[in-house]
Amino acid sequence: MPKVKAKRQSVSLDMTAMCDVAFLLLTFFMLTAKFRPEEAVTIVPPSSISEKPLNAKDGMLTISVSNEGGVYLASDDQLGREFMLERMASRYGVAITAEMKKNYMASEIVGYPAGAMRQVLNMKPADAKKLIKGIPIDSASNELSYWVGYAKLSNPNLKIAIKGDQNSNYDVFSDIIGTLQAQNINIFQLITSPEGKPK
């Protein structure tokens, strides 16, 4: 006599709870993610094979060079940024208001001559982008040396990095390195975009 097979019953899984969890996670990550801020100046660094990461444990001062030759300054040390602003303002006789300080701290870079400081800082950072042309580094008025000097005065352990566009002029790099060496800053890093090792 043939065996009678028991009818298999399909297992029914309720996926509602799993879908709820997936959408909750998706919503959480969307709401907590930070958007990359829009850069005031777009810089495409040259590529290199270096595997040494930037060491920004004690703070990083980044000097950027655009392809037009403009020099810009950024720092992740908030107390140092405030100190630099106060010193530069007192050096050039600019009275800083609370609104100007707020606009300065909200901006990501410094990229204007000290003579335009009052005008730039009275504007919101989004509106001031058109006035950001670069910090003067010529021999007549090397304002970059003051910015860097005040940054190192506020935090002597501050690391310095130079990030240049791949199409920028070498003379600008030479002037920046000369400015750093004039202040006895001989250790700095060059920022490049990563590239794979040749095979």
CA angle centred on 95, ends 133 and 91, rounded to 5°:
70
Q: Where are the domains of the chain?
A: 56-194
Q: What distance in Å separates the CA atoms of residue 18 and residue 32, rounded to the nearest whole number?
A: 21
What pLDDT, on a 0 to 100 scale, did the predictor assign at position 198? 65
The set of residues, in sequence order, having a beta carbon less than 8 Å from that of 74 and lying 6+ positions away, is 61, 62, 64, 108, 109, 110
| Burial grade of 35 (CB within 10 A; 0-12, 13-18, 19 or more) | exposed
Looking at the chain, the number of H-run helices and the number of E-run strands are: 6, 6
What are the pLDDT tens digits along the chain (199 aa)?
Answer: 677 777 777 777 788 888 999 999 999 999 998 876 666 677 888 888 777 777 777 788 999 898 888 899 988 888 888 999 999 999 989 898 999 999 888 888 888 888 888 888 888 887 888 888 888 888 788 889 999 999 999 989 889 999 888 888 889 989 999 999 999 998 888 888 877 666 6
pLDDT at position 180 is: 92
Q: How open is the CA angle 29-31-32, to the nearest 5 degrees? A: 65
- Give the global pTM: 0.75
